[in-house]
Structure formats: C-alpha cells, structure tokens
Amino acid sequence: MIDTSYILIFTALGIISVGFYLRDFPITMFGGFFTLIMGIYVTLNGIGSINTDLVRMGLGFILIGIGAYVSIRGGYEQFKND
C-alpha cells in the first residue's frame, strides 16, 4: 500500500503543475505552501519506511526549496505586474 506521505507530496507537486499550466497565481501559491509544509514534515518525521538521515534531510530540503522558490517567485511576479 502506498504511504499517505507519498500521496500528499505528489498532490502538492500536482497542484503546482496545474497552477503553472493554468497561469493561476493563487493555485500555484497554495501548491507552494503545501510543498513547504510537506518538506518540513519530511525533514522532521521522515517519509514512509525511509528514515535514514541523509534521505530524510535531503528530500525535505528539496521540497522546502521547491515550495519556497514557487512561492517567492510567484509573489515577485505579482508584485512586478501591479
């Protein structure tokens, strides 16, 4: 059975993809925040049965980086267009 953490991570990345496809800022921002939250969760608790420090911290920081980049870049684009 697939662990719930995997489903939530793929859902967050899917929301970001849909937001980029539709060019809709609020959807993309929601996906970015959701990815940030999942990155923090993975960094603290691990994901599924993978709890080695290197994988846990690496995947967590990658998710935090993606979420932060999407959120900051989207906010900057909205600020620049106004």
- pLDDT digit string, tens, across residues 54-66: 888 999 999 999 9
pTM listed for this prediction: 0.88
- pLDDT at residue 21 above 80? yes
The Cα 34–Cα 47 span in angstroms is 16
DSSP assignment string, 5-25: HHHHHHHHHHHHHHHHHHT-H
Torsion from C-alpha of 29, 7, 61, 32, nearest 10 degrees: 0
Q: Specify the pLDDT at position 9.
A: 92
